[in-house]
Amino acid sequence: MDSEKGLFHDLMVVEFASVLAGPSVGQFFAELGAEVIKVESPKTHGDVTRRWKLTSENPSASVSAYFASANWGKKSVALDLSSEEGKQLAYKIIAKADVVLVSFKPGDAEKLQMDYDTLSQLNPRLLYGHITGYGSEVPRAGYDAVLQAEAGFMFLNGEPDGPPVKMPVALIDLLAAHQLKEGLLAGLYRREKTGLGQYIEVSLLASAVASLANQATNYLVTGVAPQRMGSEHPNIVPYGTIYRTSDGKEVVLAIGDDRQFQVLCQILSEPELAQDARFRTNRQRVSNRDALHPKLQELVSRLPQKELLKALVAQHVPAGAVHSVPEALAQPLVQNQLLANGEGKPQGVRQVAFSGPASRHFSISEPPELGQHTWQVLEEKTGVSSAEMQELAQKDLIFPVKSGNL
């Protein structure tokens, strides 16, 4: 491996995906050194997230904060796939590619002639990663908020006496992205053995259900449907429970066994609480959680947050401060996960979170302007002349200006 270029420095990924799930996969490969070419439509002004801006953002900027969450390290090519000329140029690029990422609604890839059957004829080694809402046989677009509702996440999220609540990030999109990364890595391993590419499809629904984890098995084993519990855990107490300290700050406890609970009580200067028949074992604490929480809250409220957390961490009792997003991103251990722009200001977060030689961090480019690399990529990958590109630009089939592309 060329350690200066990344594990996938000789891999080419062509991304036809938009929003979050597919682009997250593209950035993952870019961070590991792959050349990732993001093909965007000039008709629709590119990936829709370019226009999903906060009121505090520059309204004329081509790169929004949302777009920057999943598009570092890529080259943007503005190309009209609905035209024959655009399609043929895309085919020339795909013929040299290793991976294609798409998030077309089922049926749309066939209409555009960008489906796996068509592209695999051009490139038998091609891995075709397709993110759908409900599977390739269901012609229904998938949206994260809808899938959070339909897969049970929204029902489970929220306070017991409150309404269902959506997660504050597009959780199902991110889960599907991880599933597709795994599928493509398995596909690359298979290709090393067989020399053949393959179609890999991941649905938002399947990814969500796979991630219900113990909530799903709790129901399947017992027949009792899980209910909203706020930040409480159905199987462990106190786990996920938030308590307020003497200085008005908040801590969360994640007690996983009886020993940890005993040490917690010692730190709180109430060791006899761990010997109370109602709380001695986790099973008893689960049954008597309503009696335990007020007692713990009273004890926690006697100590300031920093002092309490220092003692808990020193004794290996799982606990942490409840951070705001700025506080979370300011942590020293997080700094290596942040991506900085040309001025050194953090503007993004790495998709690669594992460590080891294969994940060595190196500099990657900022999220691209719409069509920033159109002329460069077409010249390099398709051999089309500048004169021909001028004609395509005049027809609005590619991004219409050359300045800043090279």
Assigned domain for 221 exists: no
- Which structural domain, as residue segments, surrounds residue 191? 12-211+336-395
Identify whether 232 is part of a domain: no
Residues 312 and 343 grouped into a single domain: no
Query: Do 293 and 202 sit in the same domain of this protein?
Result: no
pLDDT of residue 356: 82
Give the CATH number of the domain where residue 70 resides. Answer: 3.40.50.10540
In this prediction, residue 344 carries a pLDDT of 75
Same-domain pairing of 360 and 309: no
Same domain, 172 and 311: no
One domain for residues 163 and 40: yes
Look up the CATH number of the domain holding residue 294: 3.30.1540.10
Catalytic site positions: 173
Is residue 330 included in any domain, yes or no?
no
pTM of the complete model: 0.90
Q: What per-residue confidence (pLDDT) applies to 406?
A: 38
**Chain segment 246-286, per-residue pLDDT in tens:** 999 999 999 999 999 999 999 999 999 999 999 999 999 99
Q: Is 179:169 a contact under the CB 8 Å cutoff?
A: no
Which stretches in the chain have pLDDT values below 70? 1-4, 400-406
Residue 114 lies inside a defined structural domain of this protein: yes
